[in-house]
Structure 1
């Protein structure tokens, strides 16, 4: 049953990615249905009565789940057909990843009820800021393309054509800071719950491991970016640099180390 839902969700994403832009109603309905099924697969994959299943594949799947939600909501306000061509194929692949890389099981026995909430908020924070970083890369490519004139006879590929259909840079920048603002709020809740409720969550006072330090550094970078945006009007290359630096630091805190442990070293969660 779960495998069927995995495949159906990926199929809906793939179909909606291929539909022509004029089929907006069909795309909206199909994306919504695929997103709901995607969420159901995530819930079934991660949650069980006494344990959580976590790993880099779940993280990537959750990231694309959030991406699809952002695309679907914001497409009501902005023309985002270029994002559809990029996000939905990636989501179709990501929804299948947990079936290939199931991750590791974390027992909830003896842990506070706060633990599951802490994990859920952390996952949403990492996912939202991952999307922000991906969005920043698209903006950098979009800006570079504006200053690069391709030969007239050259036919654009799929990715180049999708970049050409992206919204204006000012619209993309508005979306970027909405993502960063949401991600920063979620990351703040993650840091606060991890520090204040450390003993209830993990059975010990807060431990300054590499994961904690890199998470705090990332939180400071994104916070500084939002303050700079509010009081100094930071934008353009400054905003992109802070976004990518903050994301790279966050990646070191979680996803990179988990990928190495699970795929390269074939070890479970520490």
Structure 2
């Protein structure tokens, strides 16, 4: 099957699942978590051949920006579907699913430059832990957005609509910090394995990613320490989570954009 029909099918399924969950949040339809998960899983099954096809374009040390976006968005969806079996985080699908669908449509036909053939087990560990950390912290970022909406609504005594559909505020905060703790563990593994297995983490083509990844780690670490010792929560936790993830986003995709788009054009 050609890439475009698969991408369109995945996009439709992602949007359908996200729409139902959004309607659930606004209390316009009844909750159907099984339906949302099923549509998300079917969309992910459509996405998988596209990801494999991008990888088959050529072996590489680190995938190009197009391949990375498709792989990481798919991994984030898979992570969300699994975590939602144990934690009430499926509302994150309202933002994550459509974004993944858009990434798929944009990825069709775009080149994915491949560099540095060969991937050792150590580098594979670095790549996998990086992708998992990025995916978990993406879910944490969407969770933070929902928590921010909930906080603002409660501050203004708006207790109807979306707020009624979300878990209690304390549960939302607890889940947010659980996601950050898990993401931080994987991010620490990714950074440590990078220093061990990559030739030079501060080489010219990796220095931006390394510095920004360390900065993101420091932001999340500060948030966790201050949450434990100073009781940081609420909008402060939301702000630090979003800033930390933005820095991580720049670390992963900003460096790839500079290398593969700006420098390539230059």
- TM-score class normalised by the smaller sequence: 0.7 to 0.9
Question: 1:134 corresponds to which residue?
Answer: 142
Contact 1:45–1:53 at 8 Å: present in 2 too? no
Decide whether aligned partners of structure 1 residues 149 and 237 sit closer, same or farther in structure 2, where only a CA change above 3 A counts.
Answer: closer
Q: How does 1:76-115 map to 2 (within 5 A)?
A: 76-77=85-86, 82-109=91-118, 112-115=120-123
8 Å contact kept, 1:13–1:89: yes
Measured in 2, the distance between the counterparts of 1:171 and 1:66 equals 25
Residue in 2 that maps onto 1:256 = 254
For residues 135 and 23 of structure 1, do their structure 2 counterparts lie closer, same or farther at Cα, with a shift above 3 Å needed? Answer: closer
1:229 alignment counterpart: 227
Deviation, structure 1 residue 188: 0.9
Secondary structure of the corresponding residue to residue 115 of structure 2? strand
Deviation at 1:49, TM superposition (A): 5.9
Query: Does the aligned pair in 1 maintain the 2:76–2:139 contact within 8 Å?
Result: yes
Unaligned runs of 5+ in 2: 21-28
| Cα displacement (A) at 1:33 | 2.3
Counterpart pick for 1:73 among 82, 92, 96: 82
Evaluate the alpha carbon distance shift between residue 177 and residue 60 of structure 1 in structure 2; reply closer, same or farther with a 3 A threshold. Answer: farther
Q: 1:126 to 1:88 in 2, by over 3 A?
A: closer
1:189 shift after superposition: 1.4
TM-score, structure 1 normalization: 0.75
- After superposition, the Cα gap between the structure-2 partners of 1:140 and 1:189, relative to the gap in structure 1 and judged at 3 Å, is same
Q: What TM-score results when the alignment is normalised by the length of structure 2?
A: 0.76
**Structure 1, unaligned runs of 5 or more:** 151-155
State the alpha-carbon separation in 1 of the partners of residues 80 and 243 from structure 2: 24
Give yes or no for the alignment of 1:197 onto 2:205. Answer: no
Q: Is the 8 A contact 2:44 2:78 kept in 1?
A: yes
CA distance in 1 between partners of 2:108 and 2:71 (Å): 14
Shift of 1:63: 4.4
CA distance in 2, matches of 1:94, 1:230: 36
Give the stretch that moved more between structures: 140-149 or 70-79: 70-79
Listed as ranges, the matches of 1:210-221 within 5 Å are 210-221=208-219
The residue aligned with 1:267 is 264
Asked if the contact 1:61–1:97 (Cα under 8 Å) also holds between the matched residues in 2, the reply is: no
Equivalences, count: 253
Aligned to 2:23: none
Classify 1:112/1:73 alpha carbon distance in 2 versus 1 (closer, same or farther; 3 Å). Answer: closer
Instruction: Give the whole-Å Cα distance in 2 for the aligned partners of 1:100 and 1:48.
Output: 12
Match of 1:180 in 2: 180
Q: 2:133 — aligned with what? A: 125
1:198-222 deviation per Cα after TM superposition (whole angstroms, max 9, x unaligned): 33xxxx5754823222211221222
Closer, same or farther: CA 232–33 of 1 in aligned 2, 3 Å: same
3-state secondary structure, aligned to 1:104: coil
RMSD (Å) for aligned C-alpha atoms: 3.4
